[in-house]
Amino acid sequence: MPYFESSDQLKAVFREFWIRVQKEEEVMEKLAKSGIVVRFDIEQPEVHVTIDFSNPGPNGELGSLSFDSDVEPEITVWSTSETTNKFWQGKLNTTIAMARRQVKMDGSIPKALGLLSKIKPLFKVFPEVLRDKGLEHMVL
């Protein structure tokens, strides 16, 4: 399965992904209403991504994305970058992945699973970012 070569590469993909999902206004409004803070602890390579909908972003946008944030998350999700890639393309059955310990969550599992229905429209964006970054081999 495809994987990210470095933390910098993974961060660059997430930065571009975040810029693009900001244009998905309906989805972002639903997520902002949740007021949730989620941290993704990704390994191989290691990156800590925090998505914060409890506060507006630096330019007043709905939510913010940061790396190595001090903001306390309500939900923490652990996975490898391979599993993260699969998830953000909508190719991961989260329930099965949790049962197989490919994904571990701390916090409100029902709240986390409730977010899945809200973010599904964003799954089309991640492969577009991969292609535009020259990472076609990672598109599933």
Q: Across the strands, what pairs with 52?
A: 37, 64
pTM: 0.93
In angstroms, rounded to a whole number, what is the distance separating the alpha carbons of residues 110 and 107? 9
Q: Is the Cα torsion angle 3, 65, 52, 124 positive or negative in sign?
A: negative
> Which parts of the chain register pLDDT below 70?
1-2
Domain locations in the chain as residue ranges: 7-128
CA atoms within 13 A on the CB side of 44: 12
For position 2, what pLDDT does the model report? 60
The fold for domain 7-128 equals Nonspecific Lipid-transfer Protein; Chain A (3.30.1050)
% of the chain at pLDDT higher than 90 = 82
